């Protein structure tokens, strides 16, 4: 599997609010009408669903065709690479059922088969771009709906495995980099405010993952009783508010504690350019500081895309693919440091 070598389009660091919003992900949850939910299927049924949907998806007439990866036939490292690139979820990664993912060449659109729902259609865009991301999924959804029979209830809408997805089955997640909010210890306040208006805020790899490198995924919680447009319109109001909050605090930090902040950022840069061994956790923390430095124009030589991509490249799966071997943790720490030095010392 060669996908680990490719630059990641949605991490290119361009577009609306790119200094705070890394990417926008839209996903639709769909299920087939003639099979039980994933929580109730037998392994044999899962196999049937997987084969059936892979066949249908492969035959879709699209400008950009899908490449299908049969996860149950792949080794752990390859599966992890897809997960690290946000092409499959943690649940999809760890499932024991037959399951697949179909991905377009540019990785903008992917379809997870046999995740929590039979079908999870997702689109990823750089920076804040919910409308374009929604259009991409919506378009595939329309085409797919002509060849498969979705479970749909005329009163509730799309029927999903988990009640929180019933209705549109639409979730929009925005990956935000909030170092100033974290640094000034206001993240709990932001989480509470978002929860009150029915948003959830999660870690770098979604549900149940921790907020590595000060990255947070903000997404709508409810899908029932609201149209796709309502959900997106509301997001277009809420996200820029968080962006403004983060930006204001970055400016305030820069004004009040400029020297301290500069010191933290440049030290992170120095360590990353020199270390011979680094854990994933520390790397993400220091990369977070560098990302802030690039966005505050302190570090001018390193492109935002390089920093954004490093967050993915330093993960265990990518590291093992790049260096072409299975590695234990200690060895990974050394190759991680090698990779970061190599990337940063180009600038």
**Under the rule (CB under 8 A), what is the footprint of its own copies?**
259-260, 262-263, 266-267, 269-277, 334, 337
Question: Rounded to an integer, what distance in angstroms lies between the CA atom of residue 157 and that of residue 344?
Answer: 49
Question: Which residues make beta-bridge pairs with 167?
Answer: 158
Taking the complex as a whole, how short is the minimal distance between the CB of residue 105 and its own copies, in angstroms?
38
Nearest residue (CB) to its own copies, 174 versus 275? 275
Nearest residue (CB) to its own copies, 5 versus 259? 259
CB 111 within 8 A of CB 101: yes
CB 77 within 8 A of CB 311: no
| Number of residues in the chain | 347
Taking the complex as a whole, how short is the minimal distance between the CB of residue 213 and its own copies, in angstroms?
19
Nearest residue (CB) to its own copies, 227 versus 260? 260
Taking the complex as a whole, how short is the minimal distance between the CB of residue 294 and its own copies, in angstroms?
15
Nearest residue (CB) to its own copies, 193 versus 264? 264
Helix (H, G, I), strand (E, B) or coil at 12: coil
Question: Rounded to an integer, what distance in angstroms lies between the CA atom of residue 327 and that of residue 238?
Answer: 42
Helix (H, G, I), strand (E, B) or coil at 88: coil
CB 206 within 8 A of CB 212: no
Nearest residue (CB) to its own copies, 234 versus 262? 262
Sign of the torsion formed by the C-alpha atoms of 301, 304, 306 and 311: positive
In 135-189, DSSP assigns E strands to 152-153, 157-158, 170-177
Taking the complex as a whole, how short is the minimal distance between the CB of residue 265 and its own copies, in angstroms?
8
Nearest residue (CB) to its own copies, 106 versus 345? 345
Taking the complex as a whole, how short is the minimal distance between the CB of residue 259 and its own copies, in angstroms?
6
Question: Rounded to an integer, what distance in angstroms lies between the CA atom of residue 42 and that of residue 46?
Answer: 6
Taking the complex as a whole, how short is the minimal distance between the CB of residue 229 and its own copies, in angstroms?
48
Taking the complex as a whole, how short is the minimal distance between the CB of residue 92 and its own copies, in angstroms?
36
Tokens of 53: 């949907």
Nearest residue (CB) to its own copies, 21 versus 344? 344
CB 119 within 8 A of CB 151: no
């Amino acid at each position: 599997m060669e996908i680990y070598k490719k630059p990641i389009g949605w991490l290119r660091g361009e577009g609306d609010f790119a200094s705070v919003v890394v990417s926008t992900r839209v996903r639709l949850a769909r299920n087939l009408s003639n099979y039980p939910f994933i929580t109730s299927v037998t392994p044999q049924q899962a196999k049937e669903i997987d084969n059936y949907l892979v066949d249908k998806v492969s035959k879709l007439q699209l400008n950009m065709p899908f490449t299908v990866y049969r996860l149950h036939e792949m080794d752990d490292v390859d599966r992890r690479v897809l997960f690290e690139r946000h092409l499959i979820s943690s649940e999809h990664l760890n499932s024991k059922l037959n399951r697949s993912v179909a991905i377009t060449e540019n990785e903008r659109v992917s379809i997870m088969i046999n995740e929590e729902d039979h079908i999870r259609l997702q689109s990823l865009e750089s920076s804040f771009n919910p409308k374009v991301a929604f259009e991409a999924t919506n378009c595939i959804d329309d085409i797919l709906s002509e060849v498969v029979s979705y479970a749909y209830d005329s009163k509730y809408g799309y029927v999903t495995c988990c009640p929180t997805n019933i209705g549109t089955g639409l979730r929009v997640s925005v990956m935000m980099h909030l170092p100033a909010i974290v640094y000034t210890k206001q993240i709990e306040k932001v989480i509470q405010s978002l929860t009150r208006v029915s948003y959830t805020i999660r870690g770098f790899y979604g549900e149940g993952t921790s907020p590595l490198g000060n990255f947070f995924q903000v997404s709508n919680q409810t899908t029932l009783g609201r149209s796709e447009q309502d959900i997106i319109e509301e997001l277009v109001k809420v996200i820029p508010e968080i962006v403004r909050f983060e930006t204001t605090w970055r400016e305030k930090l820069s004004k009040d504690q400029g020297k301290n902040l500069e010191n933290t950022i440049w030290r992170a840069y120095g360590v990353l350019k020199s270390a011979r061994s680094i854990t994933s956790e520390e790397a993400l923390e220091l990369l977070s500081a560098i990302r802030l430095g690039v966005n505050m124009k302190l570090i001018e030589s390193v492109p935002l895309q390089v920093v954004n991509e490093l967050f993915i490249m330093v993960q265990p799966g990518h590291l093992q693919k790049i260096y072409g071997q299975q590695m234990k943790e200690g060895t990974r720490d050394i190759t991680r440091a090698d990779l970061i030095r190599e990337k940063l010392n180009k600038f």
